[in-house]
Every structure is written in structure tokens, then in C-alpha cells.
Amino acid sequence: MTTLVWFRQDLRLQDHPALDAALARGGAVVPVYLHAPEEESPWPAGSASRWWLHHSLAALARQIESRGSRLILRRPQDCGTELLALARQAGATRIHWHRRYEPAVIERDARIKARLRAEGLECESFNGALLREPGAVKTRAGAPYQVFTPFWRSLLALGDPQPVLPAPDSLPTPASWPHSLSLAELGLLPGIRWDAGLQATWKPGSDGAHERLRSFLARGMAGYAEARDRPDLEGTSRLSPHLHAGEISPREIWHAVGEASGGKGAWRESRFLAEIAWREFAHHLLYHFPETPLRPLRPGFERIARSTNAKALAAWRQGRTGYPIVDAGLRQLWQTGWMHNRVRMIVASFLVKDLLIAWQEGARWFWDTLVDADLASNTLGWQWSAGCGADAAPYFRVFNPVSQGRKFDAGGDYVRRHVPELARLPDQWIHEPWRAPPEVLAQAGIVLGRHYPHAIVDHGVARQRALAALKEQPIL
């Protein structure tokens, strides 16, 4: 009896319930990955995500091969048809996969499952991505939570997630293998090789994920709550792209935190696991409010007048707004496919409030450029910043890019790293070069408007404009 294991956002062998269940039944296993971006419209993986996916698949294929098996790659228009064909070619009677929670994917998977069953195949899906699935965490009234804190308390009350499943030592192979494309034939890598910065920053794959987790836990959790807000430090785990690709599971992280703390103290309530819980919360919200990637959770916000200033949007994307911390963030994103969380909030506030541009524009840009682009987390983050989502920031909370820079990048290291033309500016002026005395600018080799742009808006003016625009809207 042969089982197809359809790998999706679960590119790992450890803690893999779909694979584990296939092995438990005995018989051969055929590991399959299908690249079908048309079926994920309107959110097919962006360029940075595809780069990650390429390398993550390479890592997974190596792991599978080291266990005497193969990863079959295909590039179908229609996954249902392809799975059916693969099952026939491999003599498989069962198909296993892990559930995903994006609206278009849920719909597609339901269609596929019905079709495969109608064709006489056994189909089973599992939870491989979340501590608790949507539906497991509900208010007493049975409704989905829309506020994080009670959600988190409720999640904690459910206790520890199930123990981590070990990776198998070997994978039993079928009598004959279906044909596989080469990884290059999936066409995931960019035509123009802009990916040097990504290559230098990341190690996609399960091994890379576990190295990150190990070094993060070794630094200790004591200073995390403060260090995580400092873009100039290595204070965060940087596990987000690994989690998105499923190279590591949240259950593994949960239990690893417990072990690292020796099971002592309030490790379950730690700030770090709360961040893992935010990821869960984002998935719950996406599941229960599937229209939110495109529309505000709070409908009153749809009527807010928004600018369509293409030049301002382009300046924001390119990191040429004239606000150093904003530009540093957007350039870090462009170069490394990632941006520090604190800076994500700063650039989001700047786009949505200072420039009055729709949050959806920011979400789209992040979608294409982030290696951790995740529909649930990206949607939650942008709606939170725009003030139109769950647990949203109040409308009058407008980040000041200068004071945020001073507070969280006091020494200017982060700005200097990503905006090298400002590198010689003293700390005092690094976050507001327009206020530096002319001789200081000259000494730093900067002519504003030539080496570094003038600020595209005056934050004081922009803040007042944003407050007025948001205030005058009747928020139903």
C-alpha cells in the first residue's frame, strides 16, 4: 500500500503528522511537491518567497534523498488532476497533506478532496502548521476571538500542544517512481540575479531553522522583551520565514522553549511564545474573516479618503522618503527579504498615516519582497497598523519616525548599515539629517537632495492631516 504525501508549507521531515501517519500504515511513501501558483490567486508567492521556496525545496530533497527516497516535483495547472495522475503512476491508494488556511487554498483543497474520494482514493488532511486550529479556540459564546489577550489566555488554557514527532530514519520507496521535474524547471529563481543579499542572510531549510532556534535560545530569553524592539541588535529569532515554509513547526518551538527553561518559571507566558501565539491569532482571524486580505475588518474604514500619489508610493518602496529609519527599513527589506518588526510598524505607519496611502498597497509590496510573506500575518500586521483590524491601534497613534529612530536605534547603527550615504553623520543628526548644521552635513559628505533625499513630507504637517482625515470619517 503506497501513500502520496503532498508537501506544501511543511517542508520538513520532523514533526510531520501527514508523513508520520503514512509511515505508521506501512507501505511505501511518495513525497510530492506541486508548484501551481495559478491556484493560489490572488496571492501567488512573490519573488522573495519563490527564492526561499527554491532553496527550501532543495534542502528538503536532500533530506529525503539521505533517507533513500526522492522528492517528486511537478508544475501542474491543476493540482487535483496531477495528484490523481501521480497516484495512478505510483500505484498509491492514499493521499495525505497538512491543512492550509488561506481562503483560496481552503476552497481548492476541499474540491480536490471531494474529487479524489470520488475516484476511490483515500484522502486525509492533518494539522501541521498550528498549535491549535481555528475552531479549537473560541469564546464562551462560541464565537471567534477578535482580541489577542483573551485569545492567548484561552490558548494557554488548552495546555501544551502534542509532543513533537521525530523525523523518520528511512522512507520506504515504491516499486516504480513517477517522473519528476528538476528543481530548476519549477522556475522559482529570479531571471535577473538580485538575490545576493538574500543568499548572504539566510539558510533556508530545516537545518537553517534549527540553527536559528538554537542560537536564539542560547542567547537566553531574559532580555527578549526589550531586545526584540531593537533593530540594531540581533534580538529577534528571525524564524518567521522558516515557520512560513514549515521547515520548523510551532510545536517544536513551544517544546524547545520549555526545555531551554528547564521547565521552570512562566515560560509558557513568555513574550516569545506570545509572538508565536500572534501567528496563531493571525491564522484564526484569516480563517474566520476570509475577506480581510483585501478589505478592512472594520468596514467604516473603507470610506477613508486615500492618496494615489504614485511618486510618494515609489519613494516609499525604494527607501527614498528622506526619513532615515523608514528608508533603512525599506532597504533592508529590498536587500535581505526581511524587515525588523519594530521597523515594519514604523514604515507602515508612515505609509498609511503620513502619506495617507491605502494599507493594501503596503501589504502588496511586502507580499512581493518578504521571504516570510504569510497571508495571515501580513494581513493582521497591516490592518493593525492602519487601525482597521483586530486589536487595532487607535487612530491618533501616529509613529514619529524621528523619535522612534532615537528610541530604538539610538546609536544609529541600523540606519548606517542600510543607508550608507548617511554613515558619517553623527548620532545626534542621524535620524533627522535636515536639522544638521550645514558644516556637519558638509563634513559628512552629504548634500541633501543629491546624496540623500529631502524629506518627502513634513511629519508634523502630515500627522495633523492624518488625524483630520481619520477623525472626520464617521466610523460606523
Closest CA to 373 of 337, 346, 402: 337
* Run of H or E residues at 347: helix 341-349
Q: Scan residues 392-411 and list those touching DNA (CB under 7 A).
A: 393-400, 403-404, 407
Member of 66, 149, 215, 308 binding DNA (CB under 7 A): 149
283 binds DNA (CB under 7 A): no
Among 148, 224, 254, 316, binds DNA (CB under 7 A): 148
Structural contact between residues 360 and 379, judged by C-beta atoms closer than 8 angstroms = no
Count of positions on this chain that bind DNA (CB under 7 A): 41
| CB burial readout 202-230, b (16+ within 10 A) else e | bebbbebbbebbeebbeeebeebeeebbb
Complex with DNA: residue 71 or 130, whichever CB lies closer: 130
* Contact criterion met (CB below 8 Å) for 70 and 90: no
34-42, 46-54, 339-347, 450-458 -> range binding DNA (CB under 7 A): 339-347
- Which member of 141, 218, 266, 305 binds DNA (CB under 7 A)? 141
151 binds DNA (CB under 7 A): yes
Nearer to DNA, 54 or 242 (CB): 242
CB-based burial label for 156 (10 Å; 0-12, 13-18, 19+):
middle
- Confirm if 237 and 341 have CB atoms less than 8 A apart: no
Residues 401-460 that bind DNA (CB under 7 A): 403-404, 407, 459-460
Contact partners, residue 140, CB within 8 Å, separation at least 6: none
CB atoms within 10 A of CB 325: 31
145 binds DNA (CB under 7 A): yes
Contact between 253 and DNA per CB under 7 A: no
- DSSP strand pairing (2-7 vs 72-74): unpaired
Question: Interface with DNA by CB under 7 A: which range of 29-37, 70-78, 135-143, 202-210?
Answer: 135-143
CB of 374 to DNA, least distance (A): 14
Q: Which is nearer to DNA, 92 or 390 (CB)?
A: 390
Q: Residue 198 CB, nearest distance to DNA (Å)?
A: 24
Under the binding rule (CB under 7 A), the answer on residue 472 touching DNA is no
Q: Using CB atoms within 10 Å of the CB of residue 311, give its burial: 0 to 12 exposed, 13 to 18 middle, 19+ buried.
A: exposed
Candidate list 25, 37, 114, 139; residue touching DNA; CB under 7 A: 139
Among 278, 316, 350, 452, binds DNA (CB under 7 A): 278
- The answer to whether 342 contacts DNA (rule: CB under 7 A) is yes
Which DSSP string corresponds to 23-88?
A: HHT-S-EEEEEE--GGGGTT----HHHHHHHHHHHHHHHHHHHTTT---EEE--S-HHHHHHHHHH
**140 is a site residue for DNA (CB under 7 A):** yes
Segment contacting DNA (CB under 7 A): 82-90, 141-149, 190-198, 201-209?
141-149
- For DNA, the binding residues in 218-237 under the rule CB under 7 A are 229
**Cell output for 103:** 481562503
CB of 461 to DNA, least distance (A): 11
3-class DSSP state of 293: coil
Q: How far apart are CA 229 and CA 67, in angstroms?
A: 41
Collapsing DSSP to helix, strand or coil, 406 comes out as: helix
> Which class for 53: exposed (0-12), middle (13-18), buried (19 or more C-beta within 10 A)?
buried
The binder of DNA chosen from 89, 146, 261, 473 (CB under 7 A): 146
Q: Which residues bind DNA (CB under 7 A)?
A: 139-141, 143-151, 153-154, 229, 274-275, 278, 298, 341-342, 345, 384, 391, 393-400, 403-404, 407, 459-460, 463, 471, 475-476
